[in-house]
Amino acid sequence: MVAKAGLLLRPRLYWATWLTLLALTVVMLVADGLSVPRLAFLVVVLSAMLVKASLIGAHFMHLRFERLPLALTVIVGLLLTGVILFALIAPDAVRIAAMSHR
């Protein structure tokens, strides 16, 4: 009976997660459409993206139910990939920004 109860709760969890992801996406789109200061926009968008990534990792990648070492391996790998991509893209962004100010 416990297994059946667990199976019944998972679709609710997935739907709740999906609706939260949808709401965060709408918040990001609204923030993009409003004329807010750039720093406020970046804070809203980056916060929403971090929450969305955490929800996806926890619920759809099932990291919430895994042992801590496996979850940390995935999280550190994702963060390291993000840092490497940023380090590779940032010099071009600085160069392009300098070109546009001339």
Residue 4, pLDDT score: 52
Per the structure, the complete domain to which residue 42 belongs is given by 1-63
Contacts of 25 by beta carbon, 8 Å cutoff, 6+ apart: 48, 52
* pTM over cut 0.85: no
Does pLDDT of 95 surpass 50? yes
- Does one domain contain both 26 and 55? yes
Report the C-alpha gap between 99 and 101 in whole angstroms: 6
Quick one: 42 and 4 in the same domain?
yes
Same domain (yes/no): 4, 53: yes
Phi, psi of 36 (to 5 degrees): -105, 160
21-55 confidence digits (pLDDT tens): 999 999 999 999 998 899 999 999 999 999 999 89
Say if residue 62's pLDDT is above 60. Answer: yes
Same domain, 45 and 9: yes
Query: Does 51 share its domain with 72?
Result: no
pLDDT for residue 1? 44
Same-domain check for residues 57 and 8? yes
Residues 3 and 48 in one domain: yes
